[in-house]
Amino acid sequence: MPTWNSRGLRGSTLEEFINRTNEKYAEHNLAMIQKIPTPITPINIDKETRHITLAYFDQKSTVDYIGAVQGIPVCFDAKECHTDTFPLANVHAHQIQFMQDFENQQGISFILIFYTQRDEFYYMPFRQLYEFWERAQNGGRKSFRLEELNPEFFLPKKSGILVPYLEGLKKDLELRD
């Protein structure tokens, strides 16, 4: 069973960037997005500092973030990738199911990928993720390459916004019409 400290702080920089972005979006009344905490059960707690030093995950989490953008329900997960190939093992079946169910309720699901070596963010609409997922489930590649991605969904650098994912959401919505 995975433990809390076995995963270290993987993704914490990306999540911090997204949290700051969410604060900016909320300040400007553009979106209200909440980070969903992963339920854990503490095993060891440092008595002096009262910090958890070892814990295990209670249950499978759904996605990292959920909320609304101008009345549109959205949910998304944040992933880091250190190469140009993204392993689909980083996305779990229960997350795919949750995002699919969310979409079936007229919500918008997506993942944000931070390509760390390139310092680039990518907004991946759920339908694109699902295509890659289905390919893997049907015996195809268990990953996708950078060159397979739609260049329109790489997020532009924007002053004051660390991860301008509303730009990707806008494109996503335009393509759904």
Annotated binding site: 62, 64, 77, 95
- Residue closest to 17 by CA, chosen among 150, 168, 120, 171: 120
Instruction: Provide the annotated binding site for Mg(2+).
Output: 62, 64, 77, 95
- Three-state DSSP state, 74: strand
CA nearest neighbour of 40 among 18, 60, 62, 10: 60
CA atoms within 13 A on the CB side of 143: 9
From CA 99, how far away is CA 124, in angstroms rounded?
12
CA nearest to 79, candidates 92, 68, 60, 97 = 92
CB 132 within 8 A of CB 88: yes
Q: Would you state the structure tokens that stand for residue 5, as one six-digit string?
A: 């400290």
